[in-house]
Structure 1
Amino acid sequence: MMIHVNGCQTNVPSDVRTMEQLMHYYELQAKSMIVELNKAIVNKDKYASTSLQNGDCIEFVHFVGGG
């Protein structure tokens, strides 16, 4: 399946069908972040039930602290 992740077009394996699976694929499951799917924020409790489609645009936004 061809999707856009943080602005880059990428092809993910066919067994990656949900947001949760995509996060596991990128090893992001333990990170604190905001996830957007087609410019809409996805609630953390919906990752497993949020299906991905060919052409979707996903943004992973990490929090960065500093001082």
Structure 2
Amino acid sequence: MDPEDLQRLVTLKMPYGKYKDRLIADLPGHYLAWFAREGFPAGQLGRLLALMHEIDHNNLRELLTPLRDKRG
């Protein structure tokens, strides 16, 4: 994992779909689970969605709070 990926979760937005323009860190768990079942997209977006799914699945969303606070 690229250490910068955690920061990307709280800065990059979903580029398409029902949750377009929502921060990846704010995507609902059921949406992330759907990607896990159906397949994550290729590239950086897929890697970030998979990471966010793991964070959500393991109930670790609180780990992103300090990164959100850093953003202002």
Larger RCO of the pair (alpha carbons < 8 Å, separation 6+)? 1
Q: More helix by proportion, 1 or 2? A: 2
After TM superposition, the score normalised by the length of structure 2 is: 0.27
Q: Which has the higher strand share?
A: 1
